[in-house]
Amino acid sequence: MTQSRADFHEQHLASAQAEARRLFAQKAVLQGAWLTWVASQLYTLQPAEYASMVRRALQCLQQLPEK
């Protein structure tokens, strides 16, 4: 039996958010090279649905006001 999209999302949400935080934390370290690096990291994530979840979580983090 295949997993529904909602079940997949629920099962992997915390992991995707943690991965997005890990990637976002490197922004200050890598600075100008971060965008290329993060794109390559996202490209390696599988399955594609998980990569999309991480990408959306990363977009949310980028929209937060900087401290």
Any idea which residue has 């079940």 for tokens?
Answer: 7
Tokens at 55, concatenated:
């990408």
Question: What pLDDT shows up at residue 67?
Answer: 58
Q: What is the mean pLDDT of residues 47-56?
A: 96
* pLDDT (tens digit per residue) in 9-37: 999 999 999 999 999 999 999 999 999 99
**Dist. CA 59–CA 61, nearest whole Å:** 5
Q: Which residues contact 13 (CB under 8 A, 6 or more apart)?
A: 53
**Dist. CA 24–CA 47, nearest whole Å:** 20
**Dist. CA 52–CA 30, nearest whole Å:** 22
